[in-house]
Amino acid sequence: MALIKYSGNRFGTELDQLINQFLGDNVASETQTINSIRPRVDIFETEKTYQLFLEIPGVKKEDIDLKIDQNVLTIKAERKKAQLQDPHKSHRVESHFGIYERSFTLSDDLLADSIHAKYEDGILKLEITKKVEKPFKKTITVS
């Protein structure tokens, strides 16, 4: 029962390859738009859920968009550049601005309609409930 298969990016690392090897082919693929910022994600599994923690600092809650289309969960958020009212001269601007985007294909063992999202202190927490598989039991009488 897996959530995601990380298919790597154009600048894959050895750690990414190890993660892929550990997760195996049983998990789904991930995509991203070229001109977007790829937020870092931590993924944890509990007995009943998967929990994803995405780093999207400096984004307002209303600028976060979550969608599911054909079993692909897409997280998109925009960090807008601050506009100062007074004329100013910039000496250095190192802040990242733009669109954060990350997509994950949900595996069949998840309830796509049971995703809960909470945004606090620059971290978007998603909790996805697993389907409960009831063990098949049957008493067979011998005739």
The structure's pTM equals 0.66
The pLDDT, as a whole number, for residue 85 is 65
Beta bridge partners of 118: 125
**pLDDT tens across 5-41, in order?**
545 454 455 555 555 555 543 333 444 445 678 899 9
The pLDDT, as a whole number, for residue 123 is 96
The pLDDT, as a whole number, for residue 16 is 54
Does position 4 have pLDDT exceeding 80, yes or no? no
Edge-first strand order for the sheet with 30-31 is: 30-31, 98-105, 72-79, 64-69
- 138 band by pLDDT with thresholds 50, 70 and 90: confident
100 close to 76: Cβ distance less than 8 angstroms: yes
Tokens of 34: 């070229």
